[in-house]
Homo-oligomer: A and B are copies of this chain.
Amino acid sequence: MSTTHYTIGTVAKRYGITTVTLRHYQKIGLLHPSFRGESGYRVYKEEDLSRLHFILNTKNAGFTLEEIKALFFMIDNGEPNKAVKNLIHEKLKSIQEKILHLQKLTILLEDLDNVCHKQMAARDCPIIKRLRVNPSAIS
């Protein structure tokens, strides 16, 4: 039950991040160390690490730091789970849109690739001509 204390560097190493990142998280109000030692050094406790876990995992799940802050707010204020689900649904929607856009780009680029022959000089390449001349070749 010994309440273990960690300095910023120790925490950073353990989680594969940098001390700059931890200070940044503090500055934007995402993760504050439990307290400061006499020297003014940040002191992190287990519960801080748990919170950091959450942050890193959620970030990895594609949420921005701002969104994670919103999540914490919901959790701390006992808001209904519905809000959390909504956030996830919005995320899913925006991801679907991104995927769709990228798939369109893929088709376009493959198309451009096909009309183009290796030996040609770049300035004569149909890719170039097509991009240069036709205003609505690409949407």
Q: Give chain A's interface residues, CB within 8 Å of chain B.
A: 50-51, 53-54, 57-58, 60-62, 71, 74-76, 78-85, 88-89, 91-92, 95-96, 98-99, 102-103, 105-106, 108-110, 112-113, 116-125, 127-128, 131-135, 137-139
Shortest CB–CB separation between residue A68 and chain B, in angstroms? Answer: 10
Distance A91 CA – B62 CA, assembled complex (angstroms): 22
What residue in chain B is nearest A99 (Cβ atoms)? B102
| Contacting residue for A57 out of B84, B88, B106, B131, CB 8 A | B131
What residue in chain B is nearest A110 (Cβ atoms)? B92
Shortest CB–CB separation between residue A130 and chain B, in angstroms? Answer: 8
Whether B83 contacts A122 by the Cβ 8 Å rule is yes
